[in-house]
Each structure stands twice: as structure tokens, then as C-alpha cells.
Amino acid sequence: MTSSTPTYEFFASCGAGLEHILADELRDAGAIRLRPLKSGVSFEGTLEAGYRALLWTRTASRIQLVLDRVPAGNADILYESIHSIDWTEQIREGSTISISARGVNAAMRNPQFTEQKVKDAVCDMMRERTGARPDVDTRHPGLLIDVGIHDAKATVAIDLAGTPLFKRGYRAGKREAVSPLRETVAAALLLAADWPRLAAEGCPFVDPFCGSGTIPIEAALIARNIAP
């Protein structure tokens, strides 16, 4: 990495207890300044490192790019802060958005209210700059915006994938609840058991009670070095 290569802040979420396994994966993907937190890992890196993490980490649920930390002491301050961000850099013409808010403070105690204020600020800014407001699509948005409220500040981030990363794609066309074990948790079990090394040494893998096959499938992906 050269000094002229810009770095960014990211946050990768995961199941509780998997933070250090995820941190090791992110480090292998080129992430730096890793900080395991509750149910996730904060890290920095180039955009390439962020995309590499998005492609190769097997235990992350989502990976977000942090855009800014802005004042959010009350609803009006939050609106102005979000409105000041140039959303034309993130939202394509004709694309849709969805807002996810979490956390509260003394002035904003309802995440749904926070989501509404953020949506208004984003849509108003886009209408002023482009003449059109983006539509909201809560199921398959073109851009998922995440806002975390903590005290008088808000962390504003965008989801790099949109779809949760445990939805690998090899169950496409089947109902989401086909497996009782999330793919990210299955992968974490295998990584904790040192399966990558064992697979490289040619050890066999047996799961006699495999059910829907999530653990063997993840084991095969790891053994063949196939991105999840």
C-alpha cells in the first residue's frame, strides 16, 4: 500500500462470539487497524481490501462502508447533517433506497422516527440536486443506508452487498428457512476447528447428521478455496 492509496473505515457485522474469527479473516483480506467489537469488527483498508473482504470472508453477516460521523443531538440536527452529505455520489439515477436505524439518545428514542428523518433528508437532497426523489424499497433496495445513533452523534454507513452475506446463493430458488443453521455460523465452526489446514493435508470430512448439508457444503467450499 502506498501513501497515496486512500483508506476507508468499514464495519463487518457477525454473530456474537465470532468476532475474533472474523477479525482473522479480515486480516487475511488485507484489512488493517482491526478492532473486534460487540457482534462485529471495525477495520480500515483500501476499497480493494473492502471488496476482498466482501468476497472472501465466510463469517461476516454484512460489510458496511462508513461514510461519516455527524452531529445528531436532535431530529433537526440529524436532518441537516444527513442532508449535507452528497448522496449523488452513492445513489444512481432511478435507484431505490432503504434506511436502517439503530440506537437512541435523549431526543430520539424511536429508531423508526430516525429512519423517517434520514429518508426525508436523503430524498430532499437528491430532489434538490437531481430533480427527482429516490423511491424506497425495503426488500431489494439499490442502496441500504445504516445510521447508528450514539449520544449526540450518528455514524452513517452504506451496505456494500445489500443482501445478507449468509445468503450464499447455492440455495437460490428455495425458501430461506431451508437450513436451521446459518451458513456463516457453519463456516465459523469449521474455521474454529482448523478445517482449512486439515483440508489442505487431505483429511476427510464426515458429518453423519448433516441435515440440509450446510456444514459439509461450507467445508467443501473451504477445501476447494471457493469464495463463499
pLDDT in tens, 14-71: 999 999 999 999 999 999 999 999 999 999 999 999 999 999 999 999 999 999 999 9
Confidence of residue 72 (pLDDT cuts 50, 70, 90): very high
What pLDDT, on the 0 to 100 scale, is given for residue 3?
A: 55
What pLDDT, on the 0 to 100 scale, is given for residue 4?
A: 74
What pLDDT, on the 0 to 100 scale, is given for residue 1?
A: 47
What pLDDT, on the 0 to 100 scale, is given for residue 143?
A: 96
Would you say 12 and 26 are in contact if contact means Cβ atoms under 8 Å apart? yes
Is the pLDDT score of 122 beyond 50? yes
> DSSP string covering the chain, please?
--TTS--EEEEEE--TT-HHHHHHHHHHTT-EEEEEETTEEEEEE-HHHHHHHHHH-SS-SEEEEEEEEEE-SSHHHHHHHHHTS-GGGT--TT-EEEEEEE---SS---HHHHHHHHHHHHHHHHHHHHS-PPEE-SSS-SEEEEEEEETTEEEEEEESSSS-TT--STTTTS-GGG-SS-HHHHHHHHHHTTHHHHHHTT-----TT-TT-HHHHHHHHHHTT---
Task: Report the greatest alpha carbon distance in the chain.
Answer: 61
Is the pLDDT score of 83 beyond 50? yes
Is the pLDDT score of 199 beyond 90? yes
d(CA 54, CA 165): 8
d(CA 56, CA 51): 9
Q: pLDDT digits over 125-184, tens only?
A: 999 999 999 999 998 999 999 999 999 999 999 999 988 999 998 877 655 545 689 999
- Read off the pTM: 0.89
Q: What is the mean pLDDT of residues 192-202?
A: 97
Confidence of residue 5 (pLDDT cuts 50, 70, 90): confident
